[in-house]
Amino acid sequence: MIQAPNFADLAPLGLVHGFGDRFSTYPDGITTARQIHSAIVQDAACPLGEGDALVSNRPGVLVGVRTADCVPILLVDPAAGIVAAIHAGWRGTAQGIVPEAVRVVCSREHTDPRHLRAAIGPAIGVCCYEVGPEVARRFGIETAAAVHLDLPGINEMQIRNAGVSDIWKSEECTFCTVDRFYSFRREREAAGRMMSLVGWR
Ligand SMILES: [Zn+2]
């Protein structure tokens, strides 16, 4: 699995995390929700239904999201011991799912965004992500033609604006890198999903 360099010093403290690729195998018992491209943040301790971000402050719980082109994002507050896994496609990004997850994490633990670390995993890059005028408009771009959207970059900006400054972003594009990643845009219904997970031992 792909490891975020800014989480590396937390492994000896018991943090488990990673962004999967085609070849990853995953531990049993990862807590997931049914993803619906929303801005709904769920607590992994509650019965899970639909949602696109999972928050946990319990040791022994791994939370995960599945993606193929959408942006997987992991949050950790090392002092408060809380983590979050987030699935941000264009709909979730337009609805601000990451700032919402930051808000939930901070209000639950009475902590500050400045204490959080964020990692943005492999997703479809600006090189390959073409959207039509309707989607572009959701991001404040008025156009009659198709445009390229930088979904990982927009999420990074949203995280920064939410007050988190410790951010790592993968530069790998899931659409470009055929031999390593699943891509929904490239493989359509045949595309598998990659799991991104985080939690404390
Ligand atoms: Zn690309």
Residue 80 lies in a domain: yes
69 Cβ contact partners less than 8 Å away, ≥ 6 residues apart: 89, 123, 124, 129, 174, 175, 183, 184, 185
Distance of CA 84 from the midpoint of ligand 1 (Å): 26
Q: Is the pLDDT of residue 176 over 80?
A: yes
Residue 135 lies in a domain: no
Distance of CA 56 from the midpoint of ligand 1 (Å): 32
* Mean pLDDT (whole number) for 171-186: 94
Distance of CA 147 from the midpoint of ligand 1 (Å): 14
The alpha carbon of residue 186 and the mean position of all alpha carbons in its chain are separated, in whole angstroms, by 20
Residue 63 lies in a domain: yes
Band (pLDDT 50/70/90 cuts) for residue 191 is confident
Distance of CA 138 from the midpoint of ligand 1 (Å): 22
H/E element, 199: strand 194-200
CATH code assigned at 157 = 3.60.140.10
Q: How far apart are CA 39 and CA 98, in angstroms?
A: 8
The DSSP bridge pattern shows strands 117-120 and 147-148 to be unpaired
Q: Is the pLDDT of residue 189 over 90?
A: no
Above pLDDT 70, what percent of the chain? 100
35-64: b (≥16 Cβ within 10 Å) or e: bebbbbbbbbeeeeeebbbbbbbeeebbbb
pLDDT of residue 168: 98
Which structural domain range is residue 52 located in? 5-124+151-200
pLDDT tens, residue by residue, 11-54:
999 999 999 999 999 999 999 999 999 999 999 988 778 999 99
Residue 131 lies in a domain: no
Residue 143 lies in a domain: no
Query: What is the pTM (predicted TM-score) of this model?
Result: 0.96
Distance of CA 75 from the midpoint of ligand 1 (Å): 25
Residue 142 lies in a domain: no
Q: Is the pLDDT of residue 112 over 80?
A: yes
Q: Is the pLDDT of residue 182 over 90?
A: yes
Q: How far apart are CA 30 and CA 199, in angstroms?
A: 9
Residue 117 lies in a domain: yes
Mean pLDDT of the chain: 95
Distance of CA 173 from the midpoint of ligand 1 (Å): 5
Q: How many domains does the chain have?
A: 1
pLDDT tens, residue by residue, 113-154:
999 999 999 999 999 999 999 999 999 999 999 999 999 999
Above pLDDT 90, what percent of the chain? 92
